[in-house]
Amino acid sequence: VPVDGSRWLSMREVLDGLREKGHEIVVIAPEINVHIKPSANFVMKTYPTPFTKEEIDASIHSFSREVFEEGSFLQRFLKVYQRLKSLSVISLSTCAHLLYNKEL
């Protein structure tokens, strides 16, 4: 069960190596994600989430903008903190949807 982002990009190399050694790999990922895409090297199963691709993209772009905005350290820190809380809610929701998915 990969986590989207840089950890997935690193994990992908490991999965490719395992596949070369004859292992059968199943990747479980949310339907809406940024980097996790199907491959010939593994079977991919997805599960629904309560948010859209547009919501995820908007959240990521907002976070990127807020990190580099002008303002005092405290103002920038509070904005980034609020955005991280928002991203944490998305992550928690994604995990809950996986745990309560009866098929998976």
In contact, 12 and 38? CB cutoff 8 Å: no
The reported pLDDT for the residue numbered 86 is 83
Does residue 61 belong to any structural domain of this protein?
Answer: yes
Does residue 18 belong to any structural domain of this protein?
Answer: yes
Q: Which domain holds residue 44?
A: 6-100
The reported pLDDT for the residue numbered 22 is 95
Amino acid at residue number 7: R
Amino acid at residue number 60: I
Q: What is the mean pLDDT of residues 74-84?
A: 86
Is the pLDDT reported for residue 2 higher than 60? no
In contact, 4 and 36? CB cutoff 8 Å: yes
Q: What is the mean pLDDT of residues 57-68?
A: 80
The reported pLDDT for the residue numbered 73 is 87
In this predicted model, what pLDDT tens digit does every residue of 8-52 receive, in sequence order?
778 888 998 999 999 999 999 899 888 888 888 899 999 998 888
The reported pLDDT for the residue numbered 25 is 94
The reported pLDDT for the residue numbered 83 is 82
Average pLDDT, the chain: 85
In contact, 33 and 4? CB cutoff 8 Å: yes
In contact, 41 and 61? CB cutoff 8 Å: no
Does residue 43 sit in helix, strand or coil?
strand
Does residue 1 belong to any structural domain of this protein?
Answer: no
Does residue 45 belong to any structural domain of this protein?
Answer: yes
Is the pLDDT reported for residue 6 higher than 70? no
Domain count, the chain: 1
15 HSE (CA, 13 A, CB side): 21
The reported pLDDT for the residue numbered 3 is 66
